[in-house]
Amino acid sequence: MKDLFIAGGTSGMGKGLAIHYLRQGSKVTVSGSNRLRGKEFLDEASRLGAADRASFIQADLLSLSENHRVILEVKKRHKSLDGVVLTAMQQFPKRKLTPDGYESTFALYYISRFVLSYGLTELLERGNNPVIVSIGGTGMTKGEIHWDDLNLQNKYGLLKATLQGGRANDLLGVAYAENHKGTKTRFILNHPGYTHSGTNHVAQPFKSILLVMGKLFAQTVDNSIQPIIRLIDNPPPQPLIAWDRTKAVDLSLPTLNKQDAMKLFHLTKHIL
């Protein structure tokens, strides 16, 4: 039985993991931006007889202050955590700035995960075999950090923003492991592969197209989360674990470069 927090646990892989661990008897808190999806999660938990072990925090993680509020809410519900799963994500076809002035993909895929990882470490260090799992595109080498234009003011594109977010998420894991040598919490970077999920915030007609494509070609959420469950239940001993579907990722990949990771860490501390 575990204590878990899942950012983005109201749909897709995050919800799949939340329901799996509720079935196992764990205590699970999830967050999501949409209140209705949160209610559906809580209703499902009630049907499983797990109402007293399930909580939902409504929060838009694009906002820095909302991330800090979520940390406080999680601390009210859990004395310790055995796992934090970072999976909140949506795509932004047009460049959009957050209330704090960050490009939205960067804010959600990286800044929010940075704040939650470091902000929940105290609870994780009190946990049993604790892990942070950040679900993204680890193992992919496309895309880069635009060091002089993190906010992508010049030539914004959805793919460019998503790839930068994915590379920043990789470096978050590397820097976290560097900064927590000798502590209990391990950081797991995961690429789940193409999965039949991730369309909540997509506008029509693309949403219908993606749903049909997903049904035809993608793995089910249930399949995608199996390797993640194995990693959470039996994490390898090293501080940083990078996993692409069912295989370990070579930690010497340029996308997992320690110098870049520490450069982004210090830059992030500065801009926050």
Ligand X SMILES: NC(=O)c1ccc[n+]([C@@H]2O[C@H](COP(=O)([O-])OP(=O)(O)OC[C@H]3O[C@@H](n4cnc5c(N)ncnc54)[C@H](OP(=O)(O)O)[C@@H]3O)[C@@H](O)[C@H]2O)c1
Any bridge partners for residue 44, and if so which? none
C-alpha distance from residue 153 to each of 69, 100, 142 (Å): 29, 15, 20
CB of 264 to ligand X, least distance (A): 18
CB 74 within 8 A of CB 121: no
Binding interface with ligand X (CB under 6 A): 8-14, 32-34, 37, 59-62, 87-90, 108, 135-137, 192, 194-195, 197-198, 200, 218
Q: Residue 214 class from Cβ within 10 Å (0-12 exposed, 13-18 middle, 19+ buried)? A: middle
CB of 136 to ligand X, least distance (A): 5
When the beta carbons of 85 and 175 are compared against ligand X, the nearer one is 85
CB of 90 to ligand X, least distance (A): 4
When the beta carbons of 7 and 174 are compared against ligand X, the nearer one is 7
The kind and range of the H/E element at 244 are: strand 240-244
CB of 196 to ligand X, least distance (A): 7
When the beta carbons of 136 and 239 are compared against ligand X, the nearer one is 136
Q: Is 29 helix (H, G, I), strand (E, B) or coil?
A: strand
Q: Is 236 helix (H, G, I), strand (E, B) or coil?
A: coil
Residue 8's contacts (CB-CB under 8 Å, 6 or more residues apart) are: 14, 30, 31, 32, 85, 86, 87, 88, 89
CB of 259 to ligand X, least distance (A): 25
Q: Give the residue closest to ligand X by C-beta.
A: 12
When the beta carbons of 100 and 128 are compared against ligand X, the nearer one is 100
What is the DSSP track for 66-113?
A: HHHHHHHHHHHH-S--SEEEE------SS--B-TTS-BHHHIIIIIHH
When the beta carbons of 14 and 83 are compared against ligand X, the nearer one is 14
CB of 246 to ligand X, least distance (A): 14
When the beta carbons of 71 and 80 are compared against ligand X, the nearer one is 71
Encoded amino acid at 3, one letter: D
